[in-house]
Structure 1
């Protein structure tokens, strides 16, 4: 995985994020890396069909490795379920979050002392040396031998199960929705015998989103531009504009619409300045990633395109991990809805 592809995956929002309290009923709870062991019962074996492969768990995994994949969805989901003590190596990081304590909790996890490859991920030999019993990858890329990674079959020979996150089988997050975040939570709940925790988080998220969506129902749907702050991926001025994927589902639930959804069928659009200038943008959502001042970038864009309704009304917001696959999509829905429809809150 060349470095360029890593940036693309980051933008894809298969990157995906969250660390909420293990026993909290909502993703608004503060995060932590302490875990409580699930009570043993006769729920095993557990069998999942994942990307065409059957994975059978005879007990809850205790040596979990979380691959990078430019994601935080997997590590955030595990932490949300109170399973931080099961992780022996985590390569996912983000540095900021809508949930207080989440970024710090991720940073505090062990990394396994691995020398990462050019894709900032775990090569085959190092993976085997970690002696995992469960390995998570955001897409099938992380188990591709051509990329120097241990395959799922090779992991089986050392008694390790593996898992590819929802919509990751074909390495294409363009069809991802919030329901995929719930599927990831449910699958991990089953694997670790903490389904009650998973269902509590899902129910709280669904309730929050339903309440927000009800408040904005029937309102005009503003056109929203979503892009990464100060990040370039292609040959045009605007190459990190989100066109499809889970963010569109979040926008819809918040009472908005993606201004560039028709620009491409893939997750990201590579747009010229002229194309951006000619589009009516009612609101701007800037995704914060490795930028110390994303709000400044948003203000810069509004100044650059004064013809936008967004510029005339100073309508923008900055978000990070809640926009991706993971257990806190409800936070993004609520924040965007309040920006798009302030009179409804």
Structure 2
């Protein structure tokens, strides 16, 4: 079985999607001796990295808490799921079918929001891993970086999940996470295998569309009758790798402060996109979005040609290899 799993649709609550639109990461791993051990007890500690502008040092990773489903699955794919003493926000989506048994066996300390400070600290973790910085927002009652450091607990955010990185996030970001986690758990060989497989799948997509001209696509998000244009982040990189070209490239400063912006239908109509690419968080949300796009933009080439490409919101979350599957899905929708 390919290490890159093909996910079932995840039914993510709208509140989680809204949060995902607000957060984003960067990290540079300090190299240690190249070892490919099977257990974290054999990892070459300490492991140090720069993450979200912070220096993070991991001295041990026997007890790990994962604060986001994408991170939980990534650890299982690395073969170190037994190190996870607790997961959080498990209701942000159903796990991938092939990983479901392992995911469901891990105790959960919160359902659809991050755990409060006391609950997280009670797990006495060595390492806390998160998809975004939101999970460490002390104003929301969550444990912050400083709170965990006082306990000797290290914390790491997925590379695409740091605030300053969000608008420029890329599919490649997960490879940085893989390198770091491979060193932390002493499973460098497995991390390298996952990365190699992901790169092979990306190369296959690139080869399949090599002779196709770029498709002018409007990347949007629709919720509650509001239309948002997407002009950055992992979403835009997925579109690029899939052979699409954003109609919002010449945005006139629309995305100067953030990768998404609410727009009126006239802004999209003026571009007459050849395709719509849009994130969805449930089958119902997909249906609602398609209804909105087909009724609002009936005159566009995209709707006339039926080129509407839904992408599961989980495919564009920081710290997930599912983004590779997202590239394939979008490429098939644009060029199939």
TM-score range, shorter chain: 0.7 to 0.9
Match of 1:200 in 2: 193
Structure 1 unaligned residues grouped into runs of 5+ = 16-35
Q: Cα distance, 1:258 vs. partner?
A: 2.1
Which shows bigger deviation, 123-132 or 40-49?
40-49
Q: 1:146 aligns with which of 139, 151, 156?
A: 139
Question: Using a 3 Å threshold, how does the CA distance of structure 1 residues 333 and 7 change in structure 2: closer, same or farther?
Answer: closer
1:142-221, aligned counterparts within 5 Å?
142-170=135-163, 172-221=165-214
State how far apart, in whole Å, the 2-side matches of 1:172 and 1:42 are: 28
Match of 2:31 in 1: none
Q: Cα distance, 1:256 vs. partner?
A: 0.4
State how far apart, in whole Å, the 1-side matches of 2:246 and 2:89 are: 28
Question: Using a 3 Å threshold, how does the CA distance of structure 1 residues 44 and 124 change in structure 2: closer, same or farther?
Answer: same
State how far apart, in whole Å, the 2-side matches of 1:285 and 1:106 are: 30
State how far apart, in whole Å, the 2-side matches of 1:62 and 1:55 are: 17
Structure 2 unaligned residues grouped into runs of 5+ = 1-12, 26-36
State how far apart, in whole Å, the 1-side matches of 2:46 and 2:105 are: 31
Quick check: 1:178–1:246 contact (8 Å CA) kept in 2? yes
State how far apart, in whole Å, the 2-side matches of 1:82 and 1:51 are: 26
Question: Using a 3 Å threshold, how does the CA distance of structure 1 residues 306 and 53 change in structure 2: closer, same or farther?
Answer: closer
Q: Any idea what SS the aligned residue of 2:161 has?
A: coil
TM-score normalised per structure 1 = 0.77
Q: C-alpha root-mean-square deviation of aligned residues, in Å?
A: 3.0
Count of paired positions: 306
Q: Cα distance, 1:272 vs. partner?
A: 0.9
TM-score normalised per structure 2 = 0.79
Match of 2:226 in 1: 237
State how far apart, in whole Å, the 1-side matches of 2:265 and 2:101 are: 37
Which shows bigger deviation, 37-46 or 298-307?
37-46
State how far apart, in whole Å, the 2-side matches of 1:14 and 1:73 are: 14
Report Cα offsets for 1:248-272 as digits up to 9, x if no partner.
1111111102223424232212011
Q: Cα distance, 1:178 vs. partner?
A: 1.2
Match of 1:109 in 2: 106
Match of 1:19 in 2: none
1:36-47, aligned counterparts within 5 Å?
38=39, 41=42, 43-47=44-48
Alignment partner of 1:131 is 2:124: yes
1:218-297, aligned counterparts within 5 Å?
218-228=211-221, 231-232=223-224, 237-239=226-228, 241-261=229-249, 262=251, 263-265=254-256, 266-292=258-284, 294-295=286-287, 297=289
State how far apart, in whole Å, the 1-side matches of 2:179 and 2:77 are: 12
Quick check: 2:71–2:131 contact (8 Å CA) kept in 1? yes
State how far apart, in whole Å, the 1-side matches of 2:195 and 2:166 are: 21
Report Cα offsets for 1:103-135 as digits up to 9, x if no partner.
6754553213x5x8xx92222222211211111
Match of 1:313 in 2: 305
Q: Cα distance, 1:203 vs. partner?
A: 0.7
Quick check: 1:298–1:316 contact (8 Å CA) kept in 2? yes
Quick check: 1:212–1:334 contact (8 Å CA) kept in 2? yes
Quick check: 2:43–2:186 contact (8 Å CA) kept in 1? no
Alignment partner of 1:9 is 2:2: no
Quick check: 1:77–1:184 contact (8 Å CA) kept in 2? no
Report Cα offsets for 1:287-316 as digits up to 9, x if no partner.
221443614632542243121111111112
Which shows bigger deviation, 243-252 or 85-94?
85-94
State how far apart, in whole Å, the 2-side matches of 1:102 and 1:9 are: 25
